[in-house]
Amino acid sequence: MFAVYKKELKSYFLSPTGYITIGLFLLLFSLFFYLTTVSVGGYDMGNLYFATARYGLLIIVPILTMRMFAEERKNGTEQLLLTSPRSITEIVLGKYFAAISVIIITLIFSLIYYGILCFFKAPNLVPTLVMMLGFLLVAMAAIAIGMFISSLTENQIIAAVITIIFFVGSWFLPSVNDSFSIIDLMSNYQKFPAGLISITEVFNLLGIAIMFVLFTIIIMQRKKSVK
């Protein structure tokens, strides 16, 4: 798995994808930093991470995940991938954790803004780290969903569009029926912005991530058996 992980992580930064992701994150984070903190004269990092999770991941995640399997299929390298000595589980997890690593790098950059606030008022670091943990869990679930969608199509743009539609649609489904709130990632990111850890939210987000990673493994395993 580590070999796949290293190859995928390297590929993000040998192409514009990794830099675009980090650049967009910093751009959006700066915008929301101004809107939720500077313009209101506050020091609320919670609203900042919530806004970035809701709207930033909507853009960043499709960029990271649309190429995962769709690009392999488009370039004709999927056959090599499926017939390699590595197991499908290793391949899927390697790709998944490489994308997660890019998100972790962007989160480290977000500490710059914590440092800026420290010049005016020192916010408590522990709640900020809890907010970052929640953001990471939301990203893990979102990336798992995007990766699953990428495994279903050979067109990167289609994969990205479907991923965006899924996320936007999930915002409105809870208003139709409360039972749909489980798939709305932001419904499971309510306590973290307040600096609180909710075991329910942790399990829900990890559950979504694990479920869609397993779905991806199943899809790719079936494709391998057909090949």
Count of helices and strands (H, E) across the chain: 10, 0
- Whether the Cβ atoms of residue 95 and residue 8 lie closer than 8 Å to each other: yes
Distance (Å) of CA 78 to CA 56, 70, 82, 149, 227: 30, 9, 6, 16, 10
Q: What is the pTM of this model?
A: 0.92
Write the DSSP symbol of residue 196.
-
Residue 162: give the domain boundaries.
2-226
Q: How many CB atoms are closer than 10 A to CB 57?
A: 24
In the structure encoding, which two tokens stand for residue 77, read together? 């390298």
- The burial class, CB within 10 Å (0-12 / 13-18 / 19+), for 154 is middle
Site of tokens 């589980």: 89
**Residues comprising the chain, all counted:** 227
Q: Which amino acid is at 5?
A: Y
Taking only the tens of pLDDT, the chain with its 227 residues reads: 888 999 999 999 999 999 999 999 999 999 988 887 776 666 678 888 998 999 999 999 999 999 888 777 777 667 777 778 889 999 999 999 999 999 999 999 998 888 888 877 766 788 889 999 999 999 999 999 999 999 998 889 999 999 999 999 888 876 666 666 667 898 889 999 999 999 999 999 999 999 999 999 999 998 877 75
Angle (nearest 5°) at CA 103 between 209 and 20: 125
Per-residue confidence (pLDDT) for residue 176, from 0 to 100: 61
> Which amino acid is located at 90 in the chain?
E
- For residue 59, the surrounding DSSP H or E stretch is helix 57-65
Q: How many domains does the chain have?
A: 1
Rounded to whole angstroms, how far apart are CA atoms 18 and 83?
A: 27
